[in-house]
């Protein structure tokens, strides 16, 4: 029985000890857990504080590891501060200077974006070296130039000394020349005086000759004026005769020989030997004094118009293509054509545009047709914008109208060119008319030419 009691007591004690140990272990665990939580909080706070200096990801970066191995016994921040102050001292010459914005610093230093101070210093060093070399070269050239200057100064001084010596020698020689010159000056003065007297005598003789020649010029001028007056009188008489009895526009070119076919056909006294051509037309007048070359009036036309349809050697047959009622064509009537002459080739200057078909449109093509007709009928056509001296007739087309100059807002290149063209046409027309009137050359327009050639369909 005693043995069982001892065993039970041991077990009890063991259980009590186990319970106590368990309670102590639980209390210790609780205490350790609390300290672990506090330690973790302090670690988290330390990590947070450390993150303001370096983040966890940055701690594993190679550059951070290089900083850790390079700071030695100093703290990392102390090492960084030392390097920062050294950089400011190197860059700005003052370790206490505030570090500016890098972009502003680059702009101030004239660096491009991404440029470094090291490259700028290298470039500056290279430029300094180049300038130093250039300066050395210039210094050498300056020294050489100074040596040349000294040499030239020495040569100039030597040349000056030689010049002075030569001048002294020349002065000795000039003394003799000066004395001789003085002697010759007197002789020259005397010669000049003699020449002056001779010149005055010659001038008097020349003035007398000029006076005599002037009298002769006056006499010849007077005779010339008299001859010019006579020439103008003769010219006026010649032109008066030309424009009246012998005016080429009013010359009688032939005569009606006979009437056949009930008055529809006539014979004229001009044929192949007189340069008559088929199709040529004539105006028929009662007599020569009825021909009015200067009139444009339809009433100034002759009694009839005829057109050659058959040609013989000395005569030709013509058809009456226009007649005036009550004024029959009779033998002895005269015929005229301003273009034609049996013995003379009239010269015509045809200018401008013409409306030969009377359609209300004057063209240059119809002007060319007129030139061809004049050539076929025996006339000679000349060209140009000036009146030649041997011209017989000036034939002018439709008078051009004065153009209106374009307004300021309408002065395009095309408008101004067209205005100048029309202005030139007007000026040329007026100039030809004025020249012909001054030269007393008959001027024919289309109406006059139709009247004086017996045609209405030139």
- pLDDT string in tens for the chain (458-residue length): 445 556 678 888 888 888 888 888 888 888 888 888 888 888 778 777 766 666 767 777 777 777 777 766 677 677 777 777 777 777 666 666 565 556 666 676 677 776 677 777 788 888 899 898 988 888 888 888 888 888 888 888 888 888 888 777 777 776 766 666 677 777 777 777 776 777 677 666 666 667 667 767 776 766 666 565 555 555 544 444 443 434 544 568 899 999 988 889 999 999 999 989 898 999 999 988 887 655 555 556 889 999 999 999 999 999 999 998 889 999 999 999 888 888 888 899 999 999 888 888 989 999 899 899 888 888 899 988 888 888 889 999 999 999 888 887 777 888 888 889 999 999 999 999 999 888 888 888 888 888 777 765 55
Among 280, 266, 274, 251, CA closest to 455: 280
- Residues 279 and 318: their CA atoms lie apart, in Å, by 9
* Phi, psi for residue 245 in degrees, rounded to 5: -70, -35
Instruction: Provide φ and ψ at 453, rounded to 5°.
Output: -120, 0
Would you give the distance in Å from CA 368 to the centre of its chain?
37
Task: State how far the Cα of 375 lies from the Cα of 369, in Å rounded to an integer.
Answer: 10
Round to whole Å and give the CA distance between 337 and 348.
14
441: tokens are 């050359």
Query: What helix, strand, coil percent values describe the chain, rounded to 5?
Result: 60, 10, 30
User: Is residue 275 within 8 Å of residue 306, measured between CB atoms?
Assistant: no
Res 296: pLDDT: 53
What is this structure's pTM? 0.43
- How far apart, in whole angstroms, are the C-alpha atoms of residue 444 and residue 369? 16
Helix or strand holding residue 124 (H, E): helix 117-243
Give the DSSP H/E element, type plus range, for residue 240. Answer: helix 117-243
- Phi, psi of 318, rounded to the nearest 5 degrees: -130, 150
Q: What is the pLDDT, as a whole number, of residue 9?
A: 84
pLDDT of residue 98: 62
Specify the CATH class of 254-453 in words.
mainly beta
Q: Of 439, 360, 429, which is closest to residue 392 (Cα–Cα)?
A: 439
Which among 272, 281, 377, 276 is positioned nearest to 314, based on CA atoms?
A: 272
Name residue, tokens 């037309």. Answer: 281
Encode 87-104: b = buried (16+ Cβ within 10 Å), e = exposed.
ebeeeeeeeeeeeeeeee
The whole-angstrom separation of Cα 154 and Cα 141 is: 20
Cβ of 449: how many Cβ atoms within 10 Å? 25
SS3 394: strand
Angle CA 363–367–370, to nearest 5? 140
**In the chain, domain spans:** 2-52, 62-99, 254-453
């Amino acid at each position: 029985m005693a043995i069982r009691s001892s065993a039970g007591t041991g077990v009890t004690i063991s259980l009590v000890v186990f319970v106590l140990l368990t309670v102590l272990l639980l209390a210790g665990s609780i205490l350790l857990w609390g300290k672990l939580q506090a330690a973790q909080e302090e670690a988290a706070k330390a990590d947070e504080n450390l993150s303001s200096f370096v983040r966890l990801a940055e701690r594993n970066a190679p550059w951070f590891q290089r900083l850790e191995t390079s700071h030695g016994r100093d703290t990392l921040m102390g090492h960084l501060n030392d390097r920062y102050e050294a950089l400011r001292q190197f860059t700005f010459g003052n370790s206490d200077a505030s570090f500016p914005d890098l972009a502003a610093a680059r702009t101030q230093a004239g660096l491009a974006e991404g440029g470094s101070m090291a490259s700028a210093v290298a470039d500056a060093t290279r430029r300094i070296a180049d300038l130093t070399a250039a300066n050395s070269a210039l210094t050498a050239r300056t020294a050489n130039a100074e040596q040349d200057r000294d040499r030239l100064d020495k040569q100039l001084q030597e040349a000056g000394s030689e010049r002075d010596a030569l001048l002294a020698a020349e002065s000795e020689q000039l003394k003799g020349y000066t004395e001789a010159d003085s002697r010759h000056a007197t002789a020259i003065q005397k010669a000049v005086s003699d020449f002056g007297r001779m010149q005055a005598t010659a001038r008097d003789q020349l003035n007398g000759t000029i006076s005599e020649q002037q009298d002769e010029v006056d006499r010849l001028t007077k005779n010339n004026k008299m001859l010019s007056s006579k020439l103008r009188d003769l010219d006026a008489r010649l032109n008066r005769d030309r424009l009246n009895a012998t005016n080429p526009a009013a010359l009688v070119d032939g005569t009606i020989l006979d009437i056949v076919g009930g008055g529809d056909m006539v014979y004229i006294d001009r044929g192949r030997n007189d340069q008559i051509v088929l199709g040529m037309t004539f105006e028929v007048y009662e007599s020569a004094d009825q021909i009015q070359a200067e009139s444009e009036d339809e009433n100034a036309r002759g009694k009839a118009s005829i057109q050659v349809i058959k040609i013989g050697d000395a005569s030709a047959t013509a058809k009456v293509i226009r007649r005036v009622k009550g004024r029959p064509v009779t033998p002895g009537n005269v015929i005229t054509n301003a273009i034609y002459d049996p013995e003379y080739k009239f010269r015509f200057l045809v200018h401008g545009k013409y409306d030969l078909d009377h359609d209300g449109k004057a063209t240059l093509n119809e002007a060319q047709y007129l030139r061809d007709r004049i050539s076929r009928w025996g006339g000679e056509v000349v060209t140009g914008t000036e009146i030649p001296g041997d011209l017989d007739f000036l034939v002018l087309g439709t008078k051009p109208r004065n153009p209106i100059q374009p307004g300021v807002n309408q002065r395009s290149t095309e408008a101004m060119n067209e205005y100048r063209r029309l202005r030139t046409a007007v000026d040329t027309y007026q100039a030809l008319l004025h020249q012909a009137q001054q030269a007393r050359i008959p001027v024919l327009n289309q109406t006059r030419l139709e009247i004086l050639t017996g045609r209405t369909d030139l």
